[in-house]
Chain A
């Protein structure tokens, strides 16, 4: 089954404790991207990658890191989480010029 898998789905952590949200796709898509969704603010792009070893900042990259060492994986790293990073995070993938396929989302709470 074609899918984008994110883990963990839910996480409560404390300020400053490094965490990684994993994202994996099995559709051989070149493009992968991370978004955060906050009430009334839609989906805001954090980072994206158009291919292996190629990553670029989206609109809200501060406080986040990503890497793309393999085509299928695109982890999101929060080196020192803060309460303003409490949000619902979506990973998505696509062929270079097409429809985004979203993961199920990861709800993160930073205390």
Chain B
């Protein structure tokens, strides 16, 4: 089955710096790669996603890149703010089969 590895497990940055979280996946059939943000005590919520026919997607301060050949994708957050502090999860999904595999999560702390 699919295996998703996410790094780093914890990340601490100064406000205004950039943060990068990386994920690798094993199943070349995976075709949908979302990123979810989970604030303390809350449910995960989608922040950005990318499909396998696209290499990069950007939404204001957040961007995701996908390298299908190397089977890895990354989340980039620029100009970080304290409210970006949360746990971030990547996931790899083969939409035709319905299975989703999540990474173990990255705890991002943005210091004011």
User: Which residues of A are interface residues toward B (Cβ below 8 A)?
Assistant: 31, 33, 35, 40-45, 48-50, 56, 58-59, 90, 96-97, 99-100, 102-105
Contacts and interface: CB of A to CB of B under 8 A. Distances in A.
Given A90-B43, A97-B95, A40 B104 contact: yes
A104 B43 contact: yes
Given A43-B44, A90-B44, A104-B43, A48 B104 contact: no
A100 B98 CA distance: 11
Contacts, number: 53
B46 interface: yes
B24 to A, nearest CB: 14
A96 B95 contact: yes
Interface of B: 1, 6, 9, 32, 34, 36, 43-46, 49, 89, 91, 95, 98-105
- Point out which of A40, A96, A99, A100 has the most chain B C-beta atoms below 10 A from its C-beta: A100
Contacts of B105: 40, 42
Contact of B46 (A33, A42, A58, A100): A100
- Point out which of B9, B49, B100, B103 has the most chain A C-beta atoms below 10 A from its C-beta: B100
Given A59-B1, A99-B34, A102-B44, A43 B98 contact: no
Contact of B99 (A41, A43, A45, A90): A45
